[in-house]
Structure 1
Amino acid sequence: MNGYLKQLDQHSDKVSIEESGYSHEGRQQLTAVISSPDNLANIDTILSARKQVKAGEVVSGPLIIWLAYSIHGDEASGAHAALATAYYLAASQDQWIEDALNQAIILITPSQNPDGMDRFANWVNSNRGYSLVTDPQSREHQQDWPSGRGNHFFADLNRDWLFARHPESQGRVALFHRWQPHYVGDFHEMGTNSSYFFQPGVPERNHPLTPKRNHQLTQELAKFHQQALDNQGQSYFSEQLFDDFFYGKGSTYPDINGAVGILFEQASARGHAQASTEGGISLVQAINNQFTTSLSSVKGALALKKQLIDYQHEFFNQQKKQKQPAAPKGLLVSANQDPARLEQLVQLLRQHQVNSFVLNKSVKASGRIWQPQDSIFIPLNQAQQSLIQALFDNRKQFEDTSFYDISSWDLRLAFNLTVSDETEVSQSKLRAYSTLHFFDARQAEIPATALAVIIDWRQTTAPAMLSELLQQDILVKFAASPFTLNNGKTAQQFVAGSLQIPLRQAKKNRQSIVQTLTSLARQHRVALYSATSSASVQGIDLGSPDFKTIQPVRPLLISGEGTVASEVGEIWRYVDHQLQIPISLSNSQRLRQLSLAPYTHIIFAGGDYNHLNEVVARKLGQFVTKGGVIIAQKGALSWLNKRHLLQTDVRTPRYFEKLVSGVGLTYAEKKRIEGQKQIGGAILKLALDEGHPLSFGTGEQHLSVLKDEAIGLSHANIEPFVTAASYADDILESGYLTSEYQRELSGTPAFIWETKGKGAIIGFTDNLLFRSFWLATEKVYANALFFSGMATPTYNRRHD
């Protein structure tokens, strides 16, 4: 595909190429920029003008149309249609094309997920014969795990626009803001037994922050797609199934950024041709339909050019940045003594062109003091005001309680932030953000008088630094309870879980340890505290047996049949990419013959493990009894309980669905009840046992999780000290969760730690690493990895 775009660029003066970074596997992401030669020659001036859009200025120049395809790698028709569209626009001499290229710049991105598409293309082409096979059960149409839908880490990139955790998304968001398009076409595929869909979606499920004018323009644009597909004899539908609520998707992110995004869904052949209830579908037919609506997108956008330009101007003009008052209103945000998490927030805001400032003086507001080293201010009177509202949206009331995706994503809960109400802060107390603001290199210095170095475990990047220290064979201990040290000037409090690195060690000399600590602290931006005495002011001394030695982690992550690929990918990315721990992946089918001796932890993502038999269960039981640790979440808990590995009783989705009764309702109301039975990504509050190792370093009595599946644990007959966190009584923090589920979940366990022999089984009812942006509970996962060895005597024998 990239080669083809480069050929077009080489042979046509209507085409240029723009790069938007690389995928995880190093594939270059290219976009064709297609317009008249005059427009392309004037591209720098045009881009300079586009920078003024968010300022609410009237910007003249061409219409910007972005057609983006195949963000799911196994939705191949889009990428093929993109190349056909690019060629057609570059080569056609039709008058309407000439007029279009004079009036518009058309961006064409064939593949927004090159790693997944490569996986899918290899699968399909390797499993086809000389004769096309349309049998849906044929291997060509039944991808092995993982499918090509996700990227390298199996992430759904069409859910990553808002939090941009992957390089593909970061490049894509940067491209959007560089061009600030008026119209975005988002081309997908859906199930084989379907026809063709284009927006508008379900009207009752539009996000309230999206202007009504956006929906009106979507309706007007739909007329062009209707006519184009009618001319092709292709059936289609709108205003059903899909919605415009979650702003993290390619068709909705534009809606909160001054553009009009349109979703297209084509029935998928998932290969070259496949039988279906609609009479069958071929890749050729699918390409033709996507090509057809690509051209209708250009025609429709051009026909509504003035309306689209006026809409974008009105969108930003309403939020036009006025002269800053002496005390602008905005949000004060603190990450509660975690500078790395605050920096991640600032970087995310920057990606979305949201301005924020650091404090140069403390501010009193909302009943607390906001300190300069731990707070930022986000003014509301700026161009991206609507996006700020969307990021911190925490509504609980909805017109329609069915959701195509999650019902909430409140950034304050996802990142575990403290956020003020609208607050006035004088400009004299604000200054521009500097990457050096939250970390001073002096925090990594270690004086010659130091006996040990202490690392506060509340820091987001402390686990990654710990991992590297263990890999370099440096002795590290963690505190099983809080303590306070005095360095001769002030008393410093440390939470349970804080790390101690003795500078006198048998395996390493002091100078080597100091150099390593200093280097890693600067790399990970971790503050070091130098202890000059083993005596504490309060709590345990540094030589206490309550400082436990941490052993290296050698994890095995179960993948393949039955596992939820996205959850496997999130765990894989966290352990490998963030903690930088080598992690083995093995398909579940191989567990029976696999040697478990090399591993300290076996990790089960959510999924259905009923294909694993009693032999595997006994093997895992022996692994735990001898000192191993199993970490499992969601559906994996059901199998562990069924095989008597987990003693706590599990409540499955079927159990919860029976709580929602349809008695007395008409057949027409059936869909509403079905919607209530599903959990559309609600945010729930957990009450923590602060002294439990799973809670170490969170610094909180409560944390928030995003629940997207009806799974729970019974609190009846549960053993003492097993529960580390329970769902709070006031359980719902944001989003929608039916009242029946709220009542049933309140007070029940959410994190458990069962000891079994010399080992442990740690269970989570929710995905703590949801889509890699749920920073609030990442530390809990790190605790499960690093601190679970405290209950495993075999680790102590190895250390001795």
Structure 2
Amino acid sequence: MTRFLLLFFAFVSFSISAQQLKSPSEFLGYELGTEFTRHHEVVDYYEYLAKEASDRVKLTVYGQTNERRPLLLAYVSSAANITNLENIRQEHLKDTQGTGNTSKAIVWLSYNVHGNESVSTEASMQTIYELLTNKSSYLENAVVIMDPCINPDGRDRYSNWYNQYKNSPYEVDPNSKEHHEGWWNGRSNHYMFDLNRDWAWLTQVESQHRIKVYNKWLPHIHVDFHEQGVDNPYFFAPAAEPYHEVVTDFQRDFQVTLGKNHAKYFDANGWFYFTKEMFDLFYPSYGDTYPTYNGAIGMTYEQGGSGRGGLGVITGIGDTLTLKDRIAHHFTTGLSTIEVSAKNAGKLNAEFKKFYQNKNFKYKSYVLNGDEDKIDALKNLLSKHKIEFSNADKGSFKGFNYSTGTNGSITGSKNSLVVSTNQTKGTLVKVLFEPNAKLSDSLTYDITAWSLPYAYGLDGIASTSIVPNGSEEVNTQIPSSQSINANTYAHITDWNSMKDARFLAELLKEGVRVRKTDHPFSLQGKSFARGSLIITKSDNQNKAGFIEILKKTSDKFKKDITPSSTGFVDSGKDFGSSYVQMITKPKIAVLSGKPTSTYRFGEIWHFFEQQLHYPLTVLDNEYFNKVDLKDYHVLILPSGRYGDFFNEKQLKKLQDWVKTGGKIIAMGGAINAIDGEKGFSIKKKEVAKDSTDVKPKPHKNTQRERIKNAITGAIFKTKVDNTHPLAYGYGSNYFTLKLGSSSYEYLKSGNAVYLENNTKPISGFAGSDAQKNISNSLVFGAERYGKGQVIYMIDNPLFRGFWENGKLFFANALFMVD
């Protein structure tokens, strides 16, 4: 048989196979864009394609959501490439070491990170079908990795809600119920986290599963498909300023190349679009920036619609935007991206290889000291990102000192952590560790500071020299449970980190009675700080299996336990003192629903269930007034827009409950609902306006004038009164991530963390007027009110779950403040 006939029959065979594949509409039984497809139906379609086109589609399940929905990846390419897929991957990864030899473009398309931005999953089904039929030529030079839904829990929440409330046929009037989701909307995941802001912090299971596979591929191109407001036209690359300084010229230029190709198709259809506005490349935890800092061309594509779009809606200019329109736009940019990438596969490979070579960053190494638990927490994050680290040798290391904000030095030890930019993930190291990221434009889309030494509460220096790896030391420490004995008078352990808080929470759940010391003391040659935990035989003499529980729990959390044969201390307060109090096993409630922020509520919910592992009762706003608060020790009010949620009668109810021993933890915007004008004594800080600045400002400068009053996620150095129970386990300073310019006056007493006059941020952007506004203001404080307490958290220590060093403040509010 001639070579021509072989090629002919191969072509005919492919054509028959392509014709036999069902389109999404044929498979689902309804025209794509006339219904929202539930996740299990999407999974069914991808499984169908993987079976019917198994030579060109490889489908994998890379994880499971909190609500047990599967997370999928479909690898789509030519039959030859799919057969050689693992070889292509390994050869591609060699490019990070400068030795690879592959000619294929690796394109990763991520759909529906925000659940109610629901069009992109629909578009993904049309896109994969088109790749397997009419656009199969694109697959010769490209391996396409498709994640049809990053956030299945959120998407099904939206789809089910919409299918429940929509008119039949759907109603395009934007006032109709189907265009107005309730408080618990579909944008976020199960715990109400924004997965598009979690790529670097990896607090959520979806992110943790995804990053394992992402690091196995490190694609050339990554697209994150989104939606925005109904009235906005389509956005695609190039991105807006600010670009982080590590973004290469090629990454910038190739965004333009892609954008021009998209524009060609949009122009032909008369579709509106915009570029170079709003969506920047700076904050490192997005689905465009994180891939960019790992060598990809990372991009966000934004279609108008989102949760307000439904199946169709009338826009502000009187046009009707349908789900079919939205699918067409995402479908077009997706295919255009693959087309351009396949044509430029050689260039993408060459430039990807260059990205990982010849790094010449100012800071070559970061040396970090601090509590071992905090060091371990950071190591855990770095390991997930495949970032290398080592111990330091003993000695002095010079560089930029994070604590002082000036050049200085620190002394290394066997526990010091060294992270160098001289490694494969060096660019990501620079971005995550740099003291103060260079900001080319103060008008940004998100926070402007995130440096990990501040976030994890570690002392450190950024060195302009490579710090060599230290020698490995074998840990010969005796397991803590061996020091636990039934005849011991008391067992003592420290209080410095979230690991300690989890240890305490576990003991309280098991019914073990634990005391805390409100004064430092020394015993048997060891010193113990305020907040140290004391577990006595006498307190637990009626607890069955007490010693076994203590051993098991100390082993679980690798806690160092000090036994004591006496309650008579060498200095400080004896164990029978009134300054050594029993820790209450608190029953804790949190307000949910309107008026709270879904994100802020979700952070608290996630903290209890996935970080602290302690029970939490959720009280919804719809029946909150009927709840008897006497059943609870602690009530948490998440930040939000409370307005007049608490009327005079309800405020009186709260005050009476606190007076009898209750504890309120009011966070952010919730403080406005109970402040000095409405209930408790905290007062908003008022700053006099500058009456001399009355000159009219040009309209074009409006945004620039507004940001004088803004703080876009900047880090400030605060003072800490660590004699206060709210600050147990902290030093004399704390670096807080401030997200706005709201400020409150100092309390008469109980100012645990506060700002003084010098309010210049140590990292990130804060407007000049905002800096004046927050001077001499409270950050965290507690007010004694009758027999109870009101704790104020102006800044959010649980923000996005990544500010590790703030979490102990929240644990202190729960367990230490009484």
TM-score (norm 2): 0.89
Amino acid corresponding to residue 655 of structure 2 in structure 1: G
- Identify the residue that residue 44 of structure 2 maps to in structure 1: 3
Shift in Å, 1:431? 3.5
2:587 is aligned to 554
Alignment of 1:108-507 (within 5 A): 108-203=146-241, 205-268=242-305, 270=307, 271-278=310-317, 279-319=319-359, 330-334=365-369, 336-337=370-371, 339-359=372-392, 362-366=394-398, 367-372=409-414, 374-395=415-436, 398-422=439-463, 429-431=470-472, 441-442=479-480, 445-447=483-485, 450-486=488-524, 491-505=525-539, 507=541
Which of 736, 746, 755 is matched with 1:705 structurally?
736
Question: How far apart are residue 766 of structure 1 and its match?
Answer: 0.9
2:753 — aligned with what?
725
Structure 1 residues 643 and 774: CA distance shift in structure 2, 3 A: same
Q: Distance in 2 between matches of 1:247 and 1:632?
A: 30
Partner of 1:49: 91
Distance (whole Å) between structure 1 residues aligned to residue 567 and residue 101 of structure 2: 66
Shift of 1:788: 2.5
1:632-678 CA distances to partner (integer Å, 9 max, x unpaired)? Answer: 111111110166322121248xx799999684431111121123333
Q: CA deviation at 1:20?
A: 2.2
Tell me which residue corresponds to 1:797: none
Greater CA deviation, 540-549 or 299-308?
A: 299-308
Q: Displacement of 1:304 after TM fit?
A: 2.5
Ranges in structure 2 where 5+ consecutive residues have no aligned partner: 1-41, 399-408
Partners of 1:439 and 1:525 within 8 A in 2: no
8 Å CA contact 1:592, 1:615 repeated in 2: no
Name whichever of 7-16 and 414-423 sits farther off: 414-423
The residue type paired with residue 427 of structure 2 is S
Alignment partner, residue 596 of structure 2: 563
Deviations, residues 319-359 of structure 1 (Å, cap 9, x unaligned): 499xxxxxx9622222x22x332222112112222111134
CA distance in 2, matches of 1:363, 1:532: 38
SS of match in other structure, 2:472: strand
Q: Secondary structure at the match of 2:641?
A: coil
Q: State the partner residue of 1:776.
A: 805
Looking at structure 2, the residues matched to 656 and 123 of structure 1 have their Cα atoms a distance apart, in angstroms, of: 48
Choose which of 521, 541, 556 in structure 1 pairs with 2:574. 541
Name 2:707's counterpart in structure 1: 675
Q: Distance in 1 between matches of 2:280 and 2:600?
A: 24
Find the aligned partners of 2:735 and 2:208 in 1 and give their Cα distance. 26
Change (3 A) 1:113 1:440: farther
Change (3 A) 1:393 1:36: same
Match of 1:798 in 2: none
Which amino acid is 1:706 matched to?
Answer: L
The partner residue of 2:559 within 510, 521, 526 is 526
Shift of 1:127: 0.6
Aligned equivalents of 1:423 and 1:467: distance in 2? 42
Say whether the 8 Å CA contact 1:556–1:603 is kept in structure 2. Answer: yes
**Closer, same or farther: CA 623–688 of 1 in aligned 2, 3 Å:** same
On the 8 A contact 2:233/2:273 being kept in 1, the answer is yes
> Matches of 2:178 and 2:486 in 1, distance apart?
66
**Residues 365 and 467 of structure 2 are in contact (CA less than 8 Å); yes or no, is this contact kept in structure 1?**
no
Question: What secondary structure sits across from 1:317 in the alignment?
Answer: coil
Is 1:688 the equivalent of 2:716?
A: no
Amino acid at match of 1:729: N
Quote the offset at 1:566 in angstroms. 0.7
Residue pair 1:456, 1:499 contacting (<8 A) in 2 also: yes
| Distance (whole Å) between structure 2 residues aligned to residue 125 and residue 497 of structure 1 | 52
- CA distance in 1 between counterparts of 2:451 and 2:577 reads 41
- The equivalent residue for 1:795 is none
Residues 1:437 and 1:587: Cα distance change in structure 2 (over 3 Å): farther
Query: Does residue 767 of the first structure (1) align with residue 800 of the second (2)?
Result: no
SS of the equivalent of 1:730 reads coil
Which range is displaced more, 248-257 or 465-474? Answer: 465-474
Contact 1:714–1:748 (Cα < 8 Å) also in 2: yes
SS of the aligned residue for 2:757 comes to: strand
What displacement does 1:444 show?
5.9
The one-letter code matched in structure 1 to 2:753 is: A
Quote the sequence identity (%): 28
Give the corresponding residue for 1:325.
none
Per-residue deviation, 1:424: 6.2
The separation in 1 between residues aligned to 2:156 and 2:373, in whole angstroms, is 35
> How big is the shift at 1:423?
7.2
Q: Distance in 2 between matches of 1:343 and 1:428?
A: 17
1:55/1:320 contact within 8 Å kept: no
Per the alignment, residue 796 of structure 1 pairs with: none
Q: What is the Cα-based RMSD across aligned positions, in Å?
A: 2.3
CA distance in 1: counterparts of 2:805 and 2:714, whole angstroms: 15
- 2:542 is matched with 508
Distance in 1 (CA, whole Å) between partners of 2:602 and 2:691 is: 32
Over residues 209-260 of structure 1, what are the superposed CA-to-partner deviations in whole Å (9 max), with x where a residue is unaligned?
Answer: 2122211111111111101112222110011122111111001111111110
For the residues of structure 2 that align with 1:33 and 1:497, how far apart are their CA atoms?
Answer: 53
The equivalent of 1:324 in structure 2 is none
Please state how far the C-alpha of 1:198 moved relative to its aligned partner.
0.6
Specify whether residues 656 and 388 from structure 1 end up closer, same or farther in structure 2 by C-alpha distance, changes over 3 A only.
Answer: farther
Query: What CA distance in whole angstroms lies between the structure 2 residues aligned with 1:439 and 1:590?
Result: 52
| 8 A Cα contact 2:171 2:312, kept in partner | yes
Q: 2:100 aligns with which of 58, 65, 69?
A: 58
2:128 maps to a residue whose letter is A
Structure 1 stretch 742-751 or stretch 31-40: which is displaced more? 742-751
Residue aligned with 1:788, SS:
coil
Tell me the residue number matched to 2:814.
785
Partners of 1:39 and 1:454 in 2: CA distance:
61
Counterparts of 1:320 and 1:51, CA distance in 2? 22
Aligned length: 760
Structure 1 residue 155 displacement after superposition: 0.4
Cα offset, 1:685, TM superposition: 1.6
CA contact (8 A) 1:656 1:741 kept: no
Measured in 1, the distance between the counterparts of 2:193 and 2:295 equals 27
State the one-letter code of the partner of 1:54. Answer: T
Contact 2:191 2:606 in 1 (8 A): yes
Distance in 1 (CA, whole Å) between partners of 2:554 and 2:745 is 43
Which residue of 2 is the match for residue 577 of structure 1?
610
Name the residue aligned to 2:404. none
**Secondary structure, counterpart of 2:227 in structure 1:** strand
Q: Secondary structure at the match of 2:279?
A: coil
AA matched with 1:601: V
Q: Equivalents in 2 of 1:530, 1:231: separation in Å?
A: 78
Amino acid at match of 2:315: S
- Judged with a 3 Å threshold, the aligned counterparts in structure 2 of structure 1 residues 300 and 426 are, in CA distance, closer, same or farther, namely closer
